[in-house]
Amino acid sequence: MKYFLEIITKPDNIPIVGLLFLVVFYTWFAFKKARKNDSQEIPDEAKLDDKIQVWPYLVRVEFLGTLIVFAILAVWSITIDAPLEQAADPSLTPNPSKAPWYFLGLQELLVYFDPWIAGVMLPSIIIIGLMAIPYIDVNPKGNGYYTFKDRKFAILTYYFGFLILWIALIILGTFLRGPGWNFFLPWEFWDTHKVVVLNNIDLSELIGIPTKLPDNSLNIWATLFGFTFVTGFFGILGGWHYNKFKKTELFKLMGPIRYWTTSALFLGMGFVVLKMSLRLLPPIFGAYPIKYFWVTPWFNI
Amino acid sequence: MISPMKKFRESEIYKSIFRHKYDDTQRNRALQIVDNVFLHLHPVRIPRHATNIGFTWGMGGITFLLFLILTLTGVILMFYYRPTAQYAYEDMKYLMNDVAFGPFVRNMHRWAAHAMVITVMLHMFRVFLTGSYKPPREFNWVIGVLLLVLTFLLSFTGYLLPWDQLSIWAVTVGTNMARATPLIGHEGPFGPELGMRIDNDIRFLLLGGTQVGPPTLLRFYVGHCIFLPLIAAIFMVVHFWRIRKDGGISGPDTTKKTF
Ligand code: HEM
């Protein structure tokens, strides 16, 4: 526990402790408002739609907010010094080497994916996916007020992406990942010499298709299997849902481009979760963790 | 007795500055906003729920305030900082140990930067939960995503500047990904096939070398102090302008009753 306290009170980590509390608070707060609105005919926001003057009713809120922000920052800056470690030394790699905290979710993904996916493709898809949200969400309801029941799918998806895949992974990366990016429980000492058995196998090997042939060249059957699995994941799940969905009113409203964009982004998120689960869960049941789904001469997924 | 303040408010000087009277009338309240270059970012009148801190959480406003604080403290830091491998770390040491209020200004800059990353994420969370990206605000959400990315980049480039172990290794880890960029990274899919080497790929361009070194420091410094703040400020201007043009803070449509 001593070590854990040390880690959570590191000056650069304090904001993350704050972030955790803020996110939990605001999730609860927004959900409470949503439930209240959902239980009444007219949302609270609509009852407050009379016009008032910005001076003084808004300016005073902004002024107070400014004072509070300044007060918090001043106290914070007086009591806690920004870290300044030893001078930069390119020949002395610290262990663990961590990116700034807001990128630790992505750094965590490096455990499960090769860098070109975790570090380049996924961030790009996240940014593009976020930008696409207003254009693929055709639900006219839930605009300008807190609600849950009017847009369950949108809100649950966002909760999952933001709270689990972004915030929880940041917390994990900051507080529970130690030397060698190994996992440590809060009360464990961050041992640099911790030995972790690397017994990962590829998915094809799970069903008896070796990835490498005896002469160490790539097994074409493993590549074909991987290709089938990955395209199958998107093809079968995507096709299955499309078949179920294509006759609905909502599909007509969305049209094919919006539908397939949403489908691809959603399945992409599911794929990340599947890849993570197949690495993390098997050891719990005494099975081998899965490394790659699909191995090719140029890239591995 | 007439108070001096009251006298001042009625004087020619007061009127020359504020161009309207002070007494509490609807008209003066409106003029207070439209006659002031800073306040006229606001409309004169807004729906009551838009002033409700429970609705917006004030997060966009706080993010903007933090950006202003960062600009101010950042300029002060620039007086004491030289972006070369030879001086950068020494300048930080000097700032932390010998400059009056040096640590205070640096701490404020660093903590405000952390805070801004947090508030921008919470702002986005709020905007999502109130569905405020829906028509007619779709494009402002897109601008917002760009601001989110810019906030990350600003924070990331600033992280390198102290030029200590924390800085260079965090930036090394962060930029290592670039070598794996498909097509334009020397370790990315199809990179080598397209002639990418460690000394000509996208990461080389970013770092100005094959590893985080003095040219990286200069690149990140210019990006952090000039290029990125400028771009972020421009997008913020567009963001705020769009809020007004999209009809102000979102709220339930009480005429069409889409709730
Ligand atoms: C540097 C970053 C940013 C600043 C300074 C900023 C500032 C603001 C401010 C002051 C408002 C007024 C309402 C409020 O305070 O909530 C606002 C509204 C808005 N922001 Fe941002 N914002 C930023 C980033 C973002 C991001 C990341 C998004 C979303 C991806 C976003 C999307 C929006 C939208 C759609 C509105 C209109 C909300 C409504 O009408 O209810 N902004 N922003």
Confidence (pLDDT) at B1? 64
Strand, coil or helix: A290: strand
- Residue A157 pLDDT class (50, 70, 90 cuts): very high
pLDDT surpasses 90 at A154: yes
Tell me whether residues A42 and B212 touch, CB distance under 8 A: no
Contacts for B216-219: CB closer than 8 Å, 24+ residues apart: B216/B160, B216/B171, B217/B83, B217/B84, B217/B85, B217/B88, B217/B160, B217/B161, B217/B163, B218/B83, B218/B84
CA B128-A134-A159 angle, to 5 degrees, is 35
User: How near does any CA of chain A get to the CA of B94, in Å?
Assistant: 11
**Domains along chain B with CATH numbers:** 23-54 (no CATH), 57-160 (1.20.810.10)
Distance CA A255, CA A224 (A): 33
Q: Are A145 and A45 in contact (CB under 8 A)?
A: yes
pLDDT digits (tens, 9 = 90+) for B134-149: 999 999 999 999 999 9
Q: % helix / strand / coil in chain A, to the nearest 5?
A: 65, 5, 30
Close Cβ partners of A213 (under 8 Å, ≥ 6 residues apart): A219
User: How far is the first Cα of chain A from the last one, in angstroms, to the nearest whole number?
Assistant: 37
Least confident of A230-244, A264-278, B4-18, B198-212: B4-18
What mean pLDDT do residues A201-223 have? 92
Q: Are B65 and A65 in contact (CB under 8 A)?
A: yes
Task: Return the residue matching tokens 């972790």.
Answer: A196
Find the A188 Cα to ligand 1 centroid distance in Å.
41
Q: Which of B44, B108, B181 sits opposite A53 (nearest CB)?
A: B44
Confidence (pLDDT) at A132? 98
Distance CA A263, CA A238 (A): 7
Confidence (pLDDT) at A52? 94
Find the B52 Cα to ligand 1 centroid distance in Å.
15
What phi and psi values does residue A288 have, to the nearest 5 degrees? -80, 140
Q: Which residues approach ligand 1 with their CB closer than 6 A?
A: B 56, 58-61, 63-64, 67, 120, 123-124, 127, 130, 132-133, 137, 140-141, 144-145, 147-148, 151, 236, 239, 243, 249-250
Q: Are B125 and A167 in contact (CB under 8 A)?
A: no
Q: Which tokens is A194 given?
A: 């911790």
Secondary structure element (H or E) that encloses residue B207, with its range: helix B202-207
Find the B62 Cα to ligand 1 centroid distance in Å.
10
Tell me whether residues B48 and A158 touch, CB distance under 8 A: no
pLDDT surpasses 90 at B117: yes
Close Cβ partners of B152 (under 8 Å, ≥ 6 residues apart): A102, A103, B117
Find the B245 Cα to ligand 1 centroid distance in Å.
14
pLDDT digits (tens, 9 = 90+) for B151-193: 999 999 999 999 999 999 999 999 999 999 999 999 999 999 9
Confidence (pLDDT) at B135? 94
Distances in Å between the Cα of A138 and the Cα atoms of A71, A251, B25, B135 are 42, 10, 44, 9
Computed over its alpha carbons, how large is the radius of gyration of chain A?
24
pLDDT digits (tens, 9 = 90+) for A76-125: 999 999 999 999 999 999 988 999 999 999 999 999 999 999 999 999 99
Distance CA B19, CA B120 (A): 36
Secondary structure element (H or E) that encloses residue B218, with its range: helix B214-222
Least confident of A70-74, A142-146, B1-5: B1-5
Q: How far is CA A269 from the centre of its chain?
A: 9
Strand, coil or helix: B210: coil
Confidence (pLDDT) at A4? 84
Strand, coil or helix: B167: helix
- Which residues in B lie closer than 8 A to residue A19 (C-beta atoms)? 118, 121
What mean pLDDT do residues B41-61 have? 94
What mean pLDDT do residues B64-85 have? 98
Q: Which tokens is B208 given?
A: 């100005």
Percent of chain A with pLDDT over 70: 100
- Indicate the burial class of B57 (C-beta count within 10 angstroms; 0-12, 13-18, 19 or more): buried
Chain B contact for A81 (CB, 8 A cutoff): yes
Distances in Å between the Cα of B167 and the Cα atoms of A253, B16, B87, B92, B196 are 50, 51, 15, 12, 27
Confidence (pLDDT) at B42? 94
User: How near does any CA of chain B get to the CA of A248, in Å?
Assistant: 21
User: Which atom of ligand 1 is least distant from the CA of B249?
Assistant: 40
CA atoms within 13 A on the CB side of A211: 18
Total residues found in chain B within this entry? 259
Name the nearest CA neighbour of B142 among A131, A261, A124: A131
pLDDT digits (tens, 9 = 90+) for B215-226: 999 999 999 999
pTM above 0.90, yes or no: yes
Tell me whether residues B180 and A299 touch, CB distance under 8 A: no
| ipTM value for the complex | 0.95
Query: B138-160 and B214-222 helices cross at what angle (nearest 10)?
Result: 140
Distance CA B188, CA A120 (A): 10
Q: Which tokens is A43 given?
A: 């949302």
Q: Where are the alpha helices (DSSP H) in A39-84?
A: 44-47, 54-57, 59-79
- As a whole number, the mean pLDDT across chain B is 94
Identify which of A213-217, B40-44, B216-220 has the greatest average pLDDT. Answer: B216-220
DSSP B85-145: TTTHHHHHHHHHHTSTTHHHHHHHHHHHHHHHHHHHHHHHHHHHHTTTTSTT-HHHHHHHH
Confidence (pLDDT) at A188? 87
Q: Are B128 and A140 in contact (CB under 8 A)?
A: no
Q: Which of A55, A81, A103 sits opposite B33 (nearest CB)?
A: A55
Chain A contact for B61 (CB, 8 A cutoff): yes
Name the nearest CA neighbour of A202 among A218, A182, A215, A214: A218
Atom 28 of ligand 1 has which residue's CA nearest to it? B144
What mean pLDDT do residues B223-232 have? 98
Atom 17 of ligand 1 has which residue's CA nearest to it? B60
Confidence (pLDDT) at B85? 95
pLDDT digits (tens, 9 = 90+) for A9-39: 899 999 999 999 999 999 999 999 999 999 9
Distances in Å between the Cα of B61 and the Cα atoms of A96, B42, B249 are 36, 12, 12
pLDDT surpasses 70 at A216: yes
- As a whole number, the mean pLDDT across chain A is 94
Q: Which of A48, A69, A119 sits opposite B177 (nearest CB)?
A: A119
- A-contacting residues in B 73-112 (Cβ below 8 Å): 85, 89, 92-93, 96, 103-104, 106-112
Atom 14 of ligand 1 has which residue's CA nearest to it? B60
pLDDT digits (tens, 9 = 90+) for B238-258: 999 999 999 999 999 888 877
